[in-house]
Amino acid sequence: MKKKVVLFHPNPFSATRPYYGAPLGLLAISRVLDKEGYEIKIIHPVTHKKFKQAVVEECEGAICLGISSITGYQIQEGREVAQEVKKQYPDLPIVWGGWHPSILPRETVKDEYVDIVVKGQAERSFTELVHCLEDGGDLKKVKGLTYKDNGAVVDNPPAPLESLDNFPPLPYHLIDVEKFLNNQEYGRRSLNYYTSYGCPHRCGFCVEEIVTKRGWTSLSAERMVDELEDMKRKYDIDSVAIIDSNFFTNKNRVRRMCELMLERGVNLKWGNVNGRTATLKKYEDELWGMMKKSGMECILTGAESGDQETLDYMLKDIDAGDVIEMARFCSKYDIKVLCSYLVGFPWSTEAEVCQKKVDEEIRASLNQIKELFDIHPRFRFMFALYLPYPSTTLFSKARSLGIDIPENFGDWSKFLIAAEDVNKLKVRQKWVREDQARFILMLSIYIFFFLDPDSYDLIGDKIKSRAFKALYFVAFNLYKGIVRFRWKHMFFRFPVDFYAYNYLRKYSRLG
């Protein structure tokens, strides 16, 4: 057995908002090393209650510690763990990867608890980095790295995207899979999985264009179905949540996957599959039927706005009506849709002009949502306030209008997309009013939750006590009645019910 590598996955959110998704990024960078015989130790708050202690203990004799992070809370928790490790093992290299280090590698590596950043698709880069650290090799030869060298920051060229077929399957055996199984609308033993990496589109709010340069790579359909069969046999799962950024990019791959699922009789539901409305509306009726028959139950899509001017401004390259056409297919085949909207873009240097436009964005999107509900009841809508990410197309525009941008890596831990407590809402966007931000939060986590016909079972299945289940039944139906009244009359003033619900949601830790 060769030396070991320790990997840590911080909580994406605070303790009041649990997340049980499998750490796919850490599994991805482990798969080659695992095949080569390295000892891989993955520490995750779901499997290790005393995760800080576990990381420190496992780092003894390790080649390096790897930490994965998106922007927000993961940075705080990751830095806290890295600080403890540095105290105990000051010479142990600490490597950060994930979305945030990939978009701001130079700023990230300047932090005292970061030695090396691995950018973008990291299966190859991280493997070569571990070999270098073990053998004392030259880091300059490893593409995709940013690192410190005698105080200077060195930026290596980016690593090219590789086909996922070049790598072994995700090594789920490195984690306790049972603890990462989730309830979904389409399954009670659902495991996260991904089949492609990247996205070829240019949305002005998204970091995909920055990290992958509009590149896209994937598993072949044959490899996908082989892996799904193997996962079903090993872990007795009934479904997978496919978390690709853009699953439907290659229609022939989707068709071939469905054919193989049906030919082999793979009885496995699949959902949460991300796709663009402009792409999916062009899929033939016959292919929609094949996708449904092969197990597809739920699509995630970004309608983004009911206002065409807003869609054009964000460079979405879709028509507002595309989601309507897609919804008709979903209604015909009873496929649920998780549909996201973004509001609050920086339109003008005058705050009042922007705030007026935010109201227009919300109004246009709510009108579209009413139309979508008339077509198909199985929609779950998510509203988010636009938050500018560094290097994205709209970032400089947003910054010119006034937004508090963190000046160092640690401060990015407070740069969150959504607030957990409506009473402590901090609106960074100077062009958005606080009441608008609060209303967007109310729509997303309250109104659309209770309008979703599947919400009751998703939460109710987590409650084991009969007494609490009875209380939940009463509370859920009370809130559902209030929400239906609000939606029917488009009356959202005096939201005392929302404040009460948000308190329960925060401290019940059920959703």
User: Which segments of 282-394 does DSSP mark as H helices, in order?
Assistant: 285-294, 308-313, 322-332, 351-375
What does the pLDDT read at residue 1? 52
Higher-pLDDT residue of 415 and 221 is 221
Q: How far is CA 270 from CA 66, 142, 150, 194, 329, in A?
A: 30, 36, 49, 11, 17
For residue 460, name the pLDDT band (cuts at 50, 70, 90): confident
Are the beta carbons of 278 and 318 closer than 8 angstroms? yes
Question: 17, 70, 74, 85: which is closest to 44 by C-alpha?
Answer: 74
How many whole angstroms separate alpha carbon 175 and alpha carbon 363? 45
Spell 84-107 as b/e; 16+ CB within 10 A means b.
bbbeebeebbbbbbbbbbbbbbeb
∠ at Cα 131 (130, 134), nearest 5°? 85
What does the pLDDT read at residue 323? 98
Instruction: Give every strand in the sheet of 379-385, ordered side by side.
Output: 273-274, 298-304, 336-343, 379-385
Q: Over 70: is that where the pLDDT of 16 sits?
A: no
What does the pLDDT read at residue 421? 56
When pLDDT is averaged across residues 203-221 and rounded to a whole number, the result is: 93
How many whole angstroms separate alpha carbon 498 and alpha carbon 511? 15
What does the pLDDT read at residue 429? 84
Q: Over 80: is that where the pLDDT of 419 sits?
A: no
When pLDDT is averaged across residues 16-32 and rounded to a whole number, the result is: 88
Q: Over 90: is that where the pLDDT of 288 sits?
A: yes
Least confident interval from 105-119, 132-146, 267-281, 465-479: 465-479
pLDDT averaged over the chain? 93
Q: Over 80: is that where the pLDDT of 67 sits?
A: yes
How many whole angstroms separate alpha carbon 205 and alpha carbon 212? 14
For residue 15, name the pLDDT band (cuts at 50, 70, 90): low
Q: Over 60: is that where the pLDDT of 4 sits?
A: yes
- Beta-strand pair 187-193/182-184: antiparallel
Q: Which two tokens stand for residue 397?
A: 């525009």
What does the pLDDT read at residue 502? 85
- Beta-strand pair 196-198/152-155: unpaired
% of the chain at pLDDT higher than 90: 81
When pLDDT is averaged across residues 215-240 and rounded to a whole number, the result is: 98
Q: pLDDT tens across 39-51, in order? A: 999 999 999 999 9
Residues 6+ apart with CB under 8 A from 284: none
Q: Which domains does the chain have, with CATH numbers?
A: 4-155 (3.40.50.280), 181-453 (3.20.20.70)
Q: pLDDT tens across 130-169, in order? A: 999 999 999 999 999 999 998 899 999 999 999 999 999 9
Q: How far is CA 54 from CA 41, 60, 81, 428, in A?
A: 10, 11, 10, 36
Cross-strand partners of 239: 190, 269
Q: Is 408 exposed, middle or buried (0-12, 13-18, 19+ CB in 10 A)?
A: exposed
DSSP-assigned letter for residue 266: -
When pLDDT is averaged across residues 161-189 and rounded to a whole number, the result is: 96
When pLDDT is averaged across residues 174-203 and rounded to a whole number, the result is: 95
Q: Which two tokens stand for residue 367?
A: 């009108």
Higher-pLDDT residue of 456 and 422 is 456
Are the beta carbons of 14 and 73 closer than 8 angstroms? yes
Q: pLDDT tens across 395-414, in order? A: 878 887 777 788 899 999 98
Spell 249-269 as b/e; 16+ CB within 10 A means b.
bbeebbbbbbebbeeeebebb
What does the pLDDT read at residue 508? 67
Are the beta carbons of 344 and 436 closer than 8 angstroms? yes
When pLDDT is averaged across residues 421-438 and rounded to a whole number, the result is: 80
Query: Based on C-alpha coordinates, what's the Rg of the chain?
Result: 23
| One-character DSSP codes across 170-182 | P-GGGS-GGGG-E
Are the beta carbons of 269 and 186 closer than 8 angstroms? yes
**Side-chain half-sphere of 35: how many Cα atoms within 13 Å?**
13
What does the pLDDT read at residue 212? 93
For residue 100, name the pLDDT band (cuts at 50, 70, 90): very high
| One-character DSSP codes across 57-73 | HHTTTEEEEEEE--SSH
Least confident interval from 37-46, 319-328, 343-352, 438-447: 343-352
What does the pLDDT read at residue 152? 95
**Side-chain half-sphere of 364: how many Cα atoms within 13 Å?**
21
What does the pLDDT read at residue 196? 98
Which 3 state secondary structure label does DSSP give 307? Answer: coil
3-state secondary structure 105-120: HHHHHCCCCCCEEECC
When pLDDT is averaged across residues 188-206 and rounded to a whole number, the result is: 95
DSSP-assigned letter for residue 446: I
**Cα 262–chain centre separation:** 29
**Side-chain half-sphere of 338: how many Cα atoms within 13 Å?**
18
For residue 509, name the pLDDT band (cuts at 50, 70, 90): low
Q: Over 90: is that where the pLDDT of 20 sits?
A: no
Higher-pLDDT residue of 98 and 431 is 98
What does the pLDDT read at residue 511? 56
